[in-house]
Structures are given as structure tokens and as C-alpha cells.
Chain A
Amino acid sequence: NAGVTQTPKFQVLKTGQSMTLQCAQDMNHEYMSWYRQDPGMGLRLIHYSVGAGITDQGEVPNGYNVSRSTTEDFPLRLLSAAPSQTSVYFCASQGSTEAFFGQGTRLTVV
């Protein structure tokens, strides 16, 4: 009963470094998404995917790339990290309406 698995749980990056946040789900959901959570801002949608090979931008996509080669995996890439990307990142897997979240990745960019 893994549900949604995110790795890593914590990460510190230097400005300009790149990294990939991993997300995997075992619920066979077509729809997956990435959110960032900042104090007082709630959950803001970064990118989403409605199935393998299909991705689209959300509310705050700048600085992030995604791809969806399989139903199970939906990685989020930061190409050149900036301090403004310091945040908590959540991956979600969704059936028709209900979304299930991973435990989050706390990212600090220094």
C-alpha cells in the first residue's frame, strides 16, 4: 500500500545547481501533478500530466520541467535552482476527483 512515494524528503541545493524530484504512484492513476507549498500561499500547481506522454503547465511552472514516460512516474526537474524555489514540494496522484499526496520534499536553495 505505498500510494505515492516521493524522494528525497529533504534537499539543500546551491543556486544554479540542478536536481530531479522523484514521484511514483502504484494506483494506476492517469492524472498526476506537482504542487509547491509556501507559507500563507496554500498549494500551488506547478505542472500536471493527464497520462503518459502528456504534460501541461499549472499556475507556477517557470523554472521547472516535467516529463511522463510511464503511468507510474512523474519526475520534476529544476534546471538551475534559485532561492525563490525554496519550498515544500508535493506530488499527487488523482483518480476522477480525489487526489492522494506524497509526503513531500523540503527543498532549500542557498
Chain B
Amino acid sequence: GQQLNQSPQSMFIQEGEDVSMNCTSSSIFNTWLWYKQDPGEGPVLLIALYKAGELTSNGRLTAQFGTTRKDSFLNISASIPSDVGIYFCAGHFNFGNEKLTFGTGTRLTIIP
């Protein structure tokens, strides 16, 4: 089956730093999604990308759909304490086949 490699697995940063993470797939995706999971909660959708090369922002978050359609990137600028959590990428393969494939997550920790 398809696999999503998400990196890094964890990040330890100071408040105010910028963050970058990425996902790569062994196959092409038609949609990329980025989720954030707070402790004890379910994942919440941050950004959805529908077209190769697309760059979309949501506040301090910016995500890109890679031009090869096999990768996606998420950047967080000027991190703040509430950015702490686990970030997941997810790929949607075929229109009409709703199954999502999830990455293993990037755990973001902010060092005081």
C-alpha cells in the first residue's frame, strides 16, 4: 500500500522560531491535507491543498502541494506556545475513493 514518510519525527524549538516539516509519498496524491492534534484531542484540519504547486496560507501557517504531487510541506512562522502538538499530513489518492493515507506525525515542542 501507499506510504507517507513525514519528517522530522519531532522538533524542539524556541518560541519565535520558524518551523518546517514535510511529507513524501511513494505514489501521487490528488489532495494533501495538514492536521494538528492537541494533547487529548482529535486531529483538526489546518490546510487543504488540491492542486500541484498550490501554496496556501492559514495565518502563520503556509503549506505547499509539491509539483511532483508526491510531496507536501508545512511551514509555521514565529512559533507561539499554542503551536505545540502533533502535525499530521494526509494524502487523498483517487477522486471517488475517499480513503486517506496519514503520515506518522511531527511532534512539535517549544522549549521555554
Contact = CB atoms under 8 A, between A and B. Distances in A.
Interface of A: 4, 6, 31, 33, 35, 40-45, 48, 50, 58-59, 90, 94, 96-104
Nearest to B101: A45
Nearest to B97: A50
For the complex of A and B, the 3 pairs showing the least CB-CB separation, nearest first, are: A101-B42, A42-B104, A43-B102
Contacts of A100: 45
Nearest to B33: A98
Interface of B: 1, 6, 9, 31, 33, 35, 40-45, 48, 50, 88, 90, 92, 95, 98-100, 102-105
Chain B facing A: main interface SS: strand
Chain A facing B: main interface SS: strand
Contact of B98 (A35, A40, A43, A50): A50
Contacts of B99: 33, 45, 48, 58
Contacts of A44: 102
Contacts of B90: 99
B88 A43 contact: yes
Nearest to A42: B104
8 contacts: A35-B102, A40-B9, A40-B104, A59-B1, A90-B42, A99-B90, A104-B41, A104-B42
B31 A97 contact: yes
B92 A103 contact: no
B102 A42 contact: yes
Contact of B43 (A50, A94, A101): A101
Which of A41, A44, A97, A101: most chain B CB closer than 10 A? A97
A43 B86 CA distance: 12
A99 to B, nearest CB: 6
B97 to A, nearest CB: 9
A97 B98 contact: yes
B30 to A, nearest CB: 8
A102 B40 CA distance: 11
Nearest to A32: B98
A58 B95 CA distance: 18
